[in-house]
Structure 1
Amino acid sequence: MKNKKIIKKNFEFQEIISKQEFYRNSSFVIYYTKNDKEYFRYGISVGKKLGNAVMRNKIKRQIRMMIQNQIKTSFEFSYDIIIIARNRMMQNSFDQNQKELKKLIVKFLK
């Protein structure tokens, strides 16, 4: 079964980022745009400056877990969001990163 809630295509990432609507803090940047679907979708981006492939995949897994814990993918809003990890994320613990992502999500939902 294909997961419809994940953004994977490069052109979709570029389209969302080009709208220039975002929130940021020291660990994350969240770009967002309204979509025409009845559910929200998310994409995760981790740059090559953050480490080798193993480290980048670990960061992506952690962000996915944070999203599952906080957003629960059952929101009734229809947005596409892109979460970009920043260097500061590597220095913080998982709990600190989760709190920072939650703060951004709260800003985004208001």
Structure 2
Amino acid sequence: MKKNQRILKNTEFSSMISRRKSFSSPAYILYVQPVKEKKARVGISVGKKLGNAVIRNRTKRQVRALIDSVYTFDESFDSILIVRPPFLKLDYQERKEMLDRLHEKASRKFREGKKDEKDSA
């Protein structure tokens, strides 16, 4: 995941989370909003409940790798991915499947939203 594909500013995190458009699974919470720039961006948040700094940084590296395998960055939405403690108990395949399902739900939601806008126009 390149730096221009990431959401880094606290204000952007706060504004997306305050909109409360989210999808959840045992290991993740995915907040979404329409794209602000040309390409979709993703922010990652790993709380202190997960463990010490070493574990949190390792988790972020693993999540970035998962995001690279699931996202194309041509999506019509920006995302914030919050990692929950059950993430640590899952293996790679389970983590990827959960992220894939959340991504698909969000994609479906935004495709339906665009269809509704076209129908009303």
Q: Alignment partner of 1:13: what SS?
A: helix
**TM-score by structure 2 length?**
0.83
Q: Normalized per residue, which structure has more helix?
A: 2
Task: Give the partner amino acid of 2:95.
Answer: N
Larger Rg: 2
| Correspondence 1:1-110 to 2 at 5 A | 3-73=3-73, 75=74, 77-110=75-108
Q: Distance in 1 between matches of 2:36 and 2:64?
A: 23
Kindly report the root-mean-square deviation, in angstroms, between the aligned alpha carbons of the 2 structures: 1.3
Q: Distance in 2 between matches of 1:12 and 1:108?
A: 19
Task: Give the partner amino acid of 1:103.
Answer: R
- Give the conservation status (yes or no) of the 8 Å contact 1:31–1:82: yes
Larger RCO (CA within 8 A; separation ≥ 6): 1
**TM-score by structure 1 length?**
0.91
Kindly tell me the number of residue pairs found equivalent between the two proteins: 107
Q: Distance in 1 between matches of 2:34 and 2:85?
A: 28
Q: Distance in 1 between matches of 2:66 and 2:3?
A: 18
Q: Distance in 1 between matches of 2:91 and 2:14?
A: 30
Q: Distance in 1 between matches of 2:65 and 2:35?
A: 23
Q: Distance in 1 between matches of 2:36 and 2:10?
A: 19
Q: Distance in 2 between matches of 1:4 and 1:82?
A: 14
Q: Distance in 2 between matches of 1:36 and 1:98?
A: 26
Task: Give the partner amino acid of 1:105.
Answer: H
Runs of 4+ in 1 over 4 A off after TM superposition: none
- Give the conservation status (yes or no) of the 8 Å contact 2:36–2:78: no
Sequence identity (%) = 35
Give 5+ residue unaligned stretches, structure 2: 109-121
- Give the conservation status (yes or no) of the 8 Å contact 2:35–2:76: yes
